A and B are shown apart, each in its own frame.
Chain A
């Protein structure tokens, strides 16, 4: 397996950084792309010292759609693997009352990520190789009262990834959909997560590297989530709509 560069989009996220560590450990150069990428200077040095790989920083706002192509052109090299960890949880309660805020959540979880991966997909397709990894969420598997704004955008992103995978199946380009359940990160810092169902960012990073190597299509990180989501998907709607989960 070649060890070309890995582009990490939304690199300030805990999951994104853990993923960068897992790839760097294997010797891949790393391109960290994020808003305020200068704040990643320490993370860059840390990766370089630990794994002796080259790490570059790139400013990137997923909602700056006009400049996405330019962003890709400015990378030191077209990456071998691109991982999109961008996401915004939002505040369900207040976003219900503020449709413009809700739209921002939808755009950051679906529109922006889908758009950048679409551009990368075409470049990868042209080259005839590469792997795209989209971090979506189990929240997209069924809309629930407590997080359907975020969840619906993730549902769109999941569907986009599956379509992209289907389209690129015979081109040498692979697409991995990551559906983490709970992960112990900044995003969930203030939530009281059940221990057994919660993954550490490093587990997600390792799972992503394994999935790219083994050409997995959809991964849940913690296997228990596949089961949990199967159950949730099969609850009949008349019952489901009365539940609070």
Chain B
């Protein structure tokens, strides 16, 4: 059947199986080179295999929960949205969450996802105690920082290429309420925004939305949004009455693929201006419910369709601290001159991270969407070269464009080590995605 990632590009005809138990999974894994698929939220081709894509969503059971430690053991196909629905009313929230709650635990492990608190809490791997992984021989191996360490470390961020994650033991964070105290700061340009990040490193959550069409003095003008979990005491009465707000039904929806021209420069520009001025005028501190704070896009069902049939690509890089300022200014200039940038430009400060194959490193990460076209592809390639030149990396969970050479231009040492590990464990024979083939991993 025809499958794609969240960006609807590329669309690939894939053989898909939906195993229900370990035996069926082992049969699927042993059948031919395979890749696990979670909830399809990676943008590109990470979770696609022409001959053997394994849908893990039938493995969707929660297995145990310890209210003393907040440790949840669950199967890899469980969605983060289900975890929040079950545990937020009891005062628990994911310790690390990406910008959508419709991701599976397996996908979160495979991409070692990061949230707005990376500079404080690190990536998802930091809250994982152990994993059960089906290895290339179809056996299940428990791995953690203490046992089968190598498997644990390479699976975290290994994009499904070391084995199939079956079970995850993760720690949730205890929260008093489902509300976030949000403070919004206006940054006149990119340097301003970076200064703001550096001055607020103790904020639990931080992220900036960038108007990536502004130029000159205001290049990179943005709203920097900081957040803290609100305590019950500080909440205004109306919020306190609704201590753990639940998700209200998704009202908006994009019923069909909109033609690409709806997304022209003008609408993007209008959106950006609105966003910017709103933030500047409005109160700088407000209480926002968890859903609109962490997952603003989740309430627009199928928003990826606004890019039309051709789909879109997301570019996300991270640049190390010392070159971030210069590098990001250069990139934003390139983007704004092209006039092709989306209204979704996000900037985030990463804290330190030392891991085998995960994306984050200490520095700044920039992410934005491009409607798919030849010109977008060459722009993304160019941004990739700039990333390499500044010693940065590209996020595989978002990538659909890079080639083998450009990957190695950004990450040569880790890539060759990854190849060696995959070769030695037999994973190279067993696990491959359209992406890993493109990147010759």
B58 CB to closest chain A CB (Å) equals: 9
Complexed CA–CA distance, A6 and B223 (Å): 51
Interface size bracket, A side: under 10
Complexed CA–CA distance, A50 and B72 (Å): 11
Of the stretches A41-49, A56-64, A127-135, A229-237, the one at the interface is A41-49
Chain A residue at minimum C-beta to C-beta distance from B65: A49
Q: Which of B50-102 contact A (CB under 8 A)?
A: 60-65, 72, 82, 85-86
Whether a CB of chain B sits under 8 angstroms from the CB of A148 is no
Q: Which residues of the other chain, A, contact B18 by a CB distance below 8 angstroms?
A: 189
Whether a CB of chain B sits under 8 angstroms from the CB of A51 is yes
Pick from B60, B61, B85, B86: contact of A45, CB under 8 Å? B61
A113 CB to closest chain B CB (Å) equals: 24
Q: Digit string of A19-60 for contact with B (CB within 8 Å is 1, else 0)?
A: 000000000000000000000001101100111000000000
Contact yes or no, B64 A45, CB < 8 A: yes
Contact yes or no, A43 B86, CB < 8 A: no
Complexed CA–CA distance, A45 and B62 (Å): 7
Pick from A43, A49, A51, A189: contact of B64, CB under 8 Å? A49
Complexed CA–CA distance, A52 and B242 (Å): 21
Q: Which of B283-304 contact A (CB under 8 A)?
A: none
Q: Digit string of A214-236 for contact with B (CB within 8 Å is 1, else 0)?
A: 00000000000000000000000
Complexed CA–CA distance, A51 and B72 (Å): 14
B172 CB to closest chain A CB (Å) equals: 12
Pick from B61, B65, B82, B85: contact of A43, CB under 8 Å? B61
Contact yes or no, A45 B82, CB < 8 A: no
Pick from A42, A50, A186, A189: contact of B86, CB under 8 Å? A50
Chain A residue at minimum C-beta to C-beta distance from B1: A192
Contact yes or no, A42 B63, CB < 8 A: yes
Residue of B20, B61, B64, B65 most packed against chain A (CB within 10 A): B61
A194 CB to closest chain B CB (Å) equals: 13
B3 CB to closest chain A CB (Å) equals: 14
Pick from A46, A51, A186, A189: contact of B63, CB under 8 Å? A46
Q: Which residues of the other chain, A, contact B62 by a CB distance below 8 angstroms?
A: 45-46, 49-50
- Give 20 CB contacts A-B under 8 Å: A43-B61, A45-B61, A45-B62, A45-B63, A45-B64, A46-B60, A46-B61, A46-B62, A46-B63, A49-B62, A49-B63, A49-B64, A49-B65, A49-B72, A49-B86, A50-B82, A50-B85, A51-B86, A186-B20, A189-B18
- Which A residues have a C-beta under 8 Å from some C-beta of B? 42-43, 45-46, 49-51, 186, 189
